[in-house]
Each structure stands twice: as C-alpha cells, then as structure tokens.
C-alpha cells in the first residue's frame, strides 16, 4: 500500500512537471509568434 502510494505520488509529480513544461513551451511559442507579428 505504501509503495503504491509513493509510486502514485511520483507519477503525479512527473505528470504535473510535464504538463507545466508543455504549457510553458506553448506560452513561449505564442509569445514568439506575437512578437514576430508585431514586428
């Protein structure tokens, strides 16, 4: 039970980090396109 909990927590943290990284890349790309469009 404890092992499953720690594995689930690790998986959740990894998923959260991946989601944040994906969102950060999306924001960066959108900002880059916006900046290029403004130029």
**Given this model, what pLDDT does residue 35 score?**
87
Rounded distance, CA 32 to CA 22, Å? 15
Residue 27 is encoded by which pair of tokens?
Answer: 């924001």
pLDDT of residue 2: 86
Cα torsion 7, 11, 12, 14 to 10°: value is 140
Q: What is the pLDDT of residues 1-39, one digit of tens each?
A: 789 999 999 999 999 999 999 999 988 888 888 888 876
- Number of domains the chain contains: 1
> What integer pLDDT is reported at residue 11 of this predicted model?
96
The pLDDT score that the predictor gives to residue 8 is 95
Domain that holds residue 16: 1-39
Does the predicted model carry a pTM greater than 0.85? no
């Amino acid at each position: 039970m404890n092992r499953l909990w720690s594995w689930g927590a690790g998986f959740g943290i990894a998923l959260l980090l991946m989601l944040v990284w994906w969102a950060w890349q999306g924001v960066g790309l959108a900002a880059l396109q916006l900046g290029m469009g403004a130029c």
